[in-house]
Chains A and B, each alone.
Chain A
Amino acid sequence: MNEKTMRKSRWQTVIFLLIIIVLTYLSSAITSFNFIDGVATIPKAIGWMLSNLLVTQETLDKLPNILEKLAETTFMSIAATTIAAVVSLFLGVLGSKTTKVNNFLSVFARFIASVSRNIPVVAWSLVLLISFGQNSVTGFLALFVGTVGFLTRAFIESIDEANQSSVEALTATGSTYFQIVGKAVIPQCLPQMISWVLFMVETNIRSATLVGILTGTGIGYTFDMYYKMLNYNAVALVTLCIVITVIIVDLISNYVRKVIL
């Protein structure tokens, strides 16, 4: 690198940083975000959390109710993820260039994945809520749709990366299409796919809280209820329960991932 290109790259860095600073300034102006206020809030907020977000004896009475809602939410997330994974497996096989049946179906699968991934889960929840009402099925479907989008893309990538040579070998033995997919492609990608599924289970438990707040179901609704009743001790307990669940799921999936990959 000579002096001239170094100077040029330094100028680029300066311009780049300037753009970022200007954009940050504009963003703060638009959202009336006050950086100093924001920073000042942090100690205040943490202090408030430490003094108010305490699990007290009387909130423990609510524990059975909270755990029931938490179980409902957790099961809903797992069911949504697993069933989405089955659908995504088909879409992924159709969408991947290694195993596609024809170009039309491949584009179609990718299109479905793209639409369901990019329409925010919020929009799905709200639309489904209107007709499906305040129950688990609404949350299940909202999570399901987003998960199909995400997993299909991930599965397509896993299948594309799989070694294509064994597909050739099985074709040469006179295998049928489904034998090739089932015995040459899937065994290679399965660990990767399971890893994505576990990741989505964990993500969906967190998203389910959001969906729950919007659709009035599960643990999200419980949280929202105590939150609006200003019962912060119960809010603390709900949060704690969610944290513990997510961490447990995280630990399990990390273990599985380590063994299978």
Chain B
Amino acid sequence: MSLLKIDELEKSYTADKRILKDINFEIKAGEFVSIIGPSGAGKSTMLRCINRMVEFNDGKIIFNNHDVGSLNKKELRKLRTDIGMVFQHYNLVPRLTVIENVLHGRFGYKTTLQGLMGRYSEKEKEDAFRLLEKLGIHEHAYKRCDQLSGGQQQRVGICRALIQEPKLILCDEPIASLDPNSSKIIMDLLKSISKEMGITCLVNLHQVDVAQHYSDRIIGLNDGEIVFDGKGIELSVEQINKIYGTKAKDLITS
């Protein structure tokens, strides 16, 4: 059974430029899927259509048997609690502690007032610590987020997504701002999360080799169109060329 089904998705910000053109794909529960493509291909926009951070113009997105496009405000909030999101720039609140940032992931389950007062149950707090421990940053729990390194901040970002108890995690270029070492740690973590916890991952990536190494499946996007959809090993040089245009060579050798 598919967890996510996208049908003839269309998105354009201005009348003359289409960002996404006729996107169709399905993702099964538990899959680890990478979306690759050059910058400006529409990867970020596509990811944000799934939880309606960006409103799409046409087509249909079915997530967990819900028609995403037709949800009202309250239902959309409910939907977003099922979808975690991890960002390139981590998007943490810099002045707050690590543990507070992680607990922000629970807001979707709370009333406005509970959230504003910072009323978290002891179980939620313990869960937050368990996640921090799992990701190896529990020692920094009471530090301010802006005192952490990039890799550590990204792990906080992942914890915030996980504490939502999501069915799907959307990762928008999670390693684009990190050094190779931290990148490997983050990708390993995402992979193990997907495997152990059975959470579906949809990851935007720049690097073909990383995508090939980690994903069950790769979707290649170029200029708003899907030009490849298959297993990593099926990805040939011509197809990489098709995805990246002429820039392909630099990407593979580097």
What is the size category of the interface that chain A forms with chain B? 20 to 34
- Taking the nearest CB of chain B, how far is it from the CB of A38, in angstroms? 50
Q: Are B107 and A170 in contact (CB under 8 A)?
A: yes
- The CA-CA distance from A188 to B95 in the complex, in Å, is 6
Contact of B104 among A173, A178, A190, A191 (CB under 8 A): A173
Question: Are A179 and B93 in touch, CB under 8 angstroms?
Answer: no
Q: Check A174 against B108 for contact (C-beta < 8 Å).
A: yes
Known: A168-B91, A174-B81. A182 touches B107 (CB 8 A): no
Which of the four size classes fits the interface of chain B? Answer: 20 to 34
Enumerate chain B residues within 8 angstroms of A179, measured Cβ to Cβ.
107, 110, 112, 115-116
Which of chain B's residues have a CB closer than 8 A to the CB of A171? 53, 80
Shortest B118–chain A CB gap in Å is 8
Instruction: Summarize A's interface: helix, strand, loop or mixed.
Output: helix
Contact residues, A142-182 vs B (CB, 8 A): 163, 165-166, 168-176, 178-179, 182
Tell me which of B77, B84, B93, B107 contacts A187 (CB under 8 A): B93
B108 with A173: CB separation less than 8 A: yes
A195 to B241, CA, bound (A): 55
What is the CB-to-nearest-CB distance from A253 to chain B, in angstroms, rounded to a whole number? 20
Interface residues of B in 33-62 (CB under 8 A from A): 51, 53
Q: Does B96 contact A (CB under 8 A)?
A: yes
* Alpha-carbon distance between A170 and B77 when the two chains are bound, in angstroms: 11
Query: In the bound complex, do residue A174 and residue B77 qualify as a contact, i.e. CB atoms below 8 Å apart?
Result: yes
A184 to B92, CA, bound (A): 8
- Closest residue of A by beta carbon distance from B109: A174
Q: Is A183 an interface residue (CB 8 A)?
A: yes
Closest residue on chain B to residue A190 by CB atoms:
B95
| A→B interface (CB under 8 Å) | 163, 165-166, 168-176, 178-179, 182-184, 187-188, 190-191
